Amino acid sequence: MKTISRAVVPALVAAALAAGVAQAQAPTKANAAQVLPAPIEQQLRKNLEERLPNMGKIDEVRKTPIGGLYEVRVGTELFYSDAEGNYLVNGQIIDTKARKNLTEERQDKLLAIDFNALPSKDAFTIVRGNGKRKLAVFEDPNCPYCHRFEADLQKVDNVTVYMYLYPILGPDSIEKSKNLWCSRDKGKAWVDWMIRKDTPKQADASCDVNALARNIEFGKKYKITGTPTLVFVDGTRVPGAIGAADVEKLLASK
């Protein structure tokens, strides 16, 4: 479990007091998933939208395990409010009994990516061995962590890697990604660059590189903020460079 920031505790306590909460209810799945009575939800939405017009569109309001405290979802951002919208908390809910970060668990579900819904046309594949196992990776060609990760990934066999070029580190990353995407053998050009530092050939001006822009938009939607980011078949994502042994464990568990 992640370390709980000291700033989170007083914020949540203040919200609980403001809502007149004396004690928390048992955090059951059924309770957490309950919808609000329409009048409460309408009033809460109305007050927050009027008072915080720059907050953005409220996509969902639902109960939390804490009586009188409600989750307000704006996209994939989570806030917490009392029924009147008088107090808004930007923090985390920790189930101390179960030792779980409920906010983190909820965000993981919201940010989970349906592997089958990935835009595979905007990736190229690298097949090793029988290719039965599947893994999607978002990488920037200039990311040093990606270079380290790729060296480890060479040790993983019997896998199909869906490689999404994700140039977020600057103009040179975009240029290199264009050249890689337009290579005759994308997989070979990628490995040659990431492992052997062989610079990809200049892309032909007629090559369609719109896939790169679509990858960036996809990443923004799902808050892919760093590279490498791995996505497994069950939708689980792993940010950051991990070793071959860890990739093997995750592939085996999916």
Query: Which is more confidently placed, 69 or 109?
Result: 69
Range with the poorest average pLDDT among 32-41, 79-88, 126-135: 32-41
Please state the domain extents for the chain. Answer: 8-111, 115-253
Instruction: Summarize pLDDT for 98-125 with one digit per residue, the tens.
Output: 999 999 999 888 888 899 989 999 999 9
- Residue 19 has a pLDDT of 39
Q: How far apart are CA 124 and CA 118, in angstroms?
A: 12
Check pLDDT > 50 for residue 14.
no
Distances (CA, A) of 208 to 57, 153, 225: 35, 28, 25
Element (H, E) at 246: helix 244-253
Look at the pTM and tell me if it is higher than 0.85: no
> How large is the average pLDDT for residues 2-26?
40
| CA atoms of 212 and 202, how far apart (whole Å) | 16
Q: Model confidence over 229-250: pLDDT tens digits?
A: 999 998 888 999 999 999 999 9
Separation between Cα atoms, residue 12 and residue 192, nearest integer Å: 51
CATH superfamily of 115-253: Glutaredoxin (3.40.30.10)
Does position 33 have pLDDT exceeding 90, yes or no? no
| 8-111: CATH number | 3.10.450.70
- Assess whether the region 8-111 and the region 115-253 belong to the same CATH fold: no
Rg value, the chain, Cα: 22
Tell me what the mean pLDDT of segment 39-46 comes to. 94
Work out the pLDDT band at 27, boundaries 50, 70, 90.
Answer: very low
Instruction: For residue 218, count other CB atoms closer than 10 A to its CB.
Output: 17
Between 53 and 14, the more confident residue is: 53
pLDDT digits (tens, 9 = 90+) for 209-220: 999 999 999 999
Residue 22 has pLDDT above 50, yes or no: no
Rounded to the nearest integer, the mean pLDDT of the chain is 87
